[in-house]
Structure 1
Amino acid sequence: MPLWRRSGLDRITDITLYSRPGCHLCEDAEARIRRVLGRSSSRLRVVNILEDRELEDEYVFRIPVLSINGVDVAEGEITEAAVRKALRPPVVSGGHQ
């Protein structure tokens, strides 16, 4: 089974990277995220925070920020391991009695 299917990527509806032009950490993060996504059907949306004043106010000192399904899950120097962890589906424990 492909990694993207094992990792739950087929259930993720929104993968967003908040970024800005000239940000080398953002460029590195985008490359790492795209490498992890590989051939999955999930698509990365890159948002330039400078085009929206509210986003700029919220993220200017935090970028790059990776958001999955509307939840910020990683920021700053985003590693491939951090991306994989963020994309992993939550473990649900079965309540055996």
Structure 2
Amino acid sequence: MSPIFRRTKKSAAERTVTLIGKPGCHLCDEAQVVIEKVCGELGVAWEKKDITQDEELNRAYWEQIPVVLVDGEQHTFWRVNEERLRRALSE
């Protein structure tokens, strides 16, 4: 009989949302509003990274900003859907 692998649900304290963007980006500002709201309601930590200050992030994401990572994995780019982010953080 093969073992069954179950995805373990992470607690809010174990989750991290990362917003990758740059100053003066209106989509980045809009994304931040959604992230602040959802993360605030769920008690999830979030951070903001500026592609103009990080050459590696700039190379990886300059055409997609804002980019949102959930626990280090790309969740979305350009527009952040509040309900989709909430679902991702509740899994």
**Category of TM-score, reference length = shorter chain:** 0.7 to 0.9
- TM-score scaled by structure 2? 0.79
Contact between 1:25 and 1:64, CA under 8 Å: does it hold in 2?
yes
Asked whether the 8 Å contact 2:15–2:44 carries over to 1, the reply is yes
1:52 maps to which of 49, 54, 67: 54
**Residue by residue, what CA displacement relative to the aligned partner does 1:9-53 show, whole Å, maximum 9, x if unpaired?**
525332111010011001000101111122443221000011011
Equivalent residue number for residue 39 of structure 2 = 37
> What residue in structure 2 maps to residue 20 of structure 1?
22
- 1:66-85 matched pairs, under 5 angstroms: 66-85=68-87
Equivalent position SS for 2:24: coil
Q: Structure 1 residues 41 and 33 mapped into 2: Cα distance closer, same or farther (>3 Å)?
A: same
Alpha-carbon contact 2:15-2:89 (below 8 Å) kept: no
TM-score, with structure 1 as normaliser: 0.74
Q: Percent identity?
A: 30
Q: Tell me: CA distance 1:40–1:81, structure 2 relative to 1, closer, same or farther (3 Å).
A: closer
CA distance, structure 1, for counterparts of residue 26 and residue 10 of structure 2: 29
Question: Number of residues paired by the alignment?
Answer: 83
Q: State the secondary structure of the residue aligned to 1:38.
A: helix
Return closer, same or farther for 1:46/1:80 CA change in 2, 3 Å cut-off. same
Query: Residue 89 of structure 2 aligns with which residue?
Result: 87
